[in-house]
Amino acid sequence: MDFKGLFFSAEGRLNRLSYFLLWLSVMVISVILSVIFSTILQGNLIVNYVINGVINIATLVINVFLAIKRFHDFDKSGYYLLGFIVVTNISAAVLAGIIMMIAGEGAGLAALSLMALAILLYTFLKPGTDGVNQYGNQPTALFDLGLNDNVKNINPVISDNSNNL
């Protein structure tokens, strides 16, 4: 398995289970590293902030590449991810601002969290396209990026009429 291609490339496709397990493992590793470095560097806050910042940026970059591959699985460009995030964040910010004015600050932050959860649920639950699409073959196994030449036997929708007289 090519870990560099898996975590730092936008090529290929990830099925739902692969995406969920990779996302979860990246998040768990990120939290564990943050806790370890925070424990080791208790007295030095500036170095601790810098290291945790680097961990958070690396986690963000990896998660963006994973999400792009997930969007490829349902035949959407990685730019759809950017648009999806921008639109939902703008609408969440407007909604959160309105809720903050009415109900208070905590309710507005809850609205932002719910919008982030909506993005995650969309990428976790939306089924991918069957068969080959413009981004590669259908992932058939766990952590299959859909870049191999093993294509499932797909019955064509349109017959070539070679058996008809």
pLDDT of residue 51: 92
| pLDDT greater than 60 at residue 74 | yes
**78 and 41 in one domain?**
no
Q: Does residue 101 carry a pLDDT above 60?
A: yes
> What span, in angstroms and rounded, lies between the C-alpha atoms of 165 and 151?
30
Considering its fold, how many domains does the chain have in total?
2
User: What does the alpha-carbon distance between residue 134 and residue 120 come to, in Å, rounded to a whole number?
Assistant: 23
Domain assignment present for residue 60? The answer is yes
- Is it the case that residue 88 has pLDDT exceeding 60? yes
Burial class (CB in 10 A: 0-12, 13-18, 19+), 73: buried
Q: Say if residue 81 is in the same domain as residue 68.
A: no
pLDDT at 45 over 80: yes
Is the pLDDT assigned to residue 154 strictly greater than 50?
no
Q: Which residue has the tokens 């639109």?
A: 87
**Other CB atoms closer than 10 Å to residue 25's CB: what's the count?**
10
Contact 141, 26 (CB under 8 A): no
Residue 21 phi, psi dihedral angles, 5° rounding: -65, -40
* Higher per-residue confidence, 29 vs 144: 29
Q: Is residue 26 part of a domain?
A: yes
Instruction: Identify the band that residue 160 occupies on the pLDDT scale cut at 50, 70 and 90.
Output: very low
Residues 65 and 13 in one domain: yes
**Contact present, 119 and 88 (Cβ < 8 Å):** yes
The torsion defined by the Cα of 120, 24, 69 and 74, in degrees rounded to 10, comes to -50
Same structural domain, 79 and 67: no
What pLDDT sits at residue 165? 38
Q: Which of 73, 89, 105 is the last residue of a domain?
A: 73
Domain end residue (candidates: 73, 103, 118): 73
| 44 plus 84 within the same structural domain | no
Position 153 in a domain: no
pLDDT tens for each residue of 7-41? 888 888 888 888 889 999 999 999 999 999 988 88
Show the domain range for 117: 74-128
Beta-bridge partner residues of 133: 136
pLDDT at 95 over 80: no
Q: Are residues 27 and 48 both part of a single domain?
A: yes
Contact indicator for 87, 72 with CB cutoff of 8 Å: no
Of 32 and 112, more confident: 32
Intra-chain end-to-end CA distance of the chain, in Å: 49
Same domain, 29 and 41: yes
Task: Judge whether 85 lies within some domain.
Answer: yes
pTM of the model: 0.73
